[in-house]
Amino acid sequence: MESVSTALSRVWPAELRTDRLLLRPVTWEDGPLLDELLTDDRVRAHLGGPVTQDRVVARQAAYPTTAGAFTVVRVADQRQVGLVTIGADHRCEGRAEISYQLLPVAWGEGMGREAVAAAVTWWTDAVPGGGPLVAVTQKANRASCRMLEAIGMTVVDELDEHGARQCVYTPAGGQEDSDLRWFRLLAERRDAVERHRGAQARATAAGQDLPDDLSALAPEELARLCPARHGAYGRICARVAEHTPGLHLGRAQDGAWIAWLTAADA
């Protein structure tokens, strides 16, 4: 399977037309639209909030040269009303993600549904080797969930991201659904194996005495714990200087603490 970026480069630029909309590549003249989309409290309510002006400028510079970035234009008055992008999903190699933002002036008229459906159809037809496609939206964003379901997408996964529960949607049925479920099963299997190895190889007697609430430890006990980040399960210590604590922590598959010492005889 070719990469999402390679697949996009073969079919870009592209223009998509629906009854009411034109989806065309983002241009430098779309700067005001991007500014409004990225700083509007209502648009960004389920997207982490308005972004800083530095990030606005960076996005304005990047989008016109980004394959898969469409400006949504309302044909009736030629007004730019939104943004739809298809690009590589950073969560899973080989998977594409569709994202969308629409100005409030175009809400409630089905334009988001029309634009996203057109982009999904384009990806499926024009990029058959581009891998599975997903849309990720906050579970609390019921309007976005209903819109994705209305165009025939279905939930295949849920995850926690940016401090909120997210739903992962993909076009119902077909190879995309099968591929996504396979990726998920493979990741879960690898995850279970790594957890088991970590618990077996690194658990020590010290881990048996650790309470679930580490704040219950005495100051001298806390001083022994490494304060560095250790990855998902405590396997990697990123601290490279002033590393005096000897006890490292992780979680076993059942959620219990595992611990190992830095000494060679641990």
143 and 243 part of one domain: no
Q: Is residue 116 part of a domain?
A: yes
Q: Is residue 63 part of a domain?
A: yes
222 and 127 part of one domain: no
144 and 216 part of one domain: no
140 and 90 part of one domain: yes
What is the per-residue pLDDT for 265? Answer: 38
How many angstroms from the chain centroid is the CA of residue 180? 14
Give the domain CATH number at 12: 3.40.630.30
179 and 220 part of one domain: no
Phi-psi region of 165 (alpha: psi -120 to 50; beta: other; left: phi over 0): beta
Q: What is the chain's pLDDT, residue by residue, as a tens digit (266 residues)? A: 578 888 898 899 999 999 999 999 999 999 999 999 999 999 999 888 889 999 999 999 999 999 999 999 999 999 999 999 999 888 877 789 999 999 999 998 999 999 999 999 999 888 876 678 899 999 999 999 999 999 989 888 888 887 788 998 988 765 555 566 556 655 665 565 555 555 555 556 666 677 777 777 787 777 777 766 555 545 556 555 666 666 777 666 566 677 766 653 33
Domain of residue 74 covers: 4-185
Q: Is residue 97 part of a domain?
A: yes
176 and 207 part of one domain: no
Q: What is the pTM of this model?
A: 0.66
Domain's final residue, options 123, 154, 185: 185
Q: Is residue 194 part of a domain?
A: no
What is the per-residue pLDDT for 173? Answer: 61
Element of type H or E holding 58: helix 53-62
Q: Is residue 104 part of a domain?
A: yes
Q: Is residue 192 part of a domain?
A: no
Q: Is residue 144 part of a domain?
A: yes
180 and 234 part of one domain: no
12 and 81 part of one domain: yes
Rounded to 5°, the CA angle 245-248-254 comes to 155
* Domains identified in the chain, total number: 2
What is the per-residue pLDDT for 180? Answer: 62
Element of type H or E holding 183: helix 174-202
Q: Is residue 196 part of a domain?
A: no
Query: Phi and psi (nearest 5°) for 49?
Result: 90, 170
Domain's final residue, options 133, 150, 185: 185
174 and 227 part of one domain: no
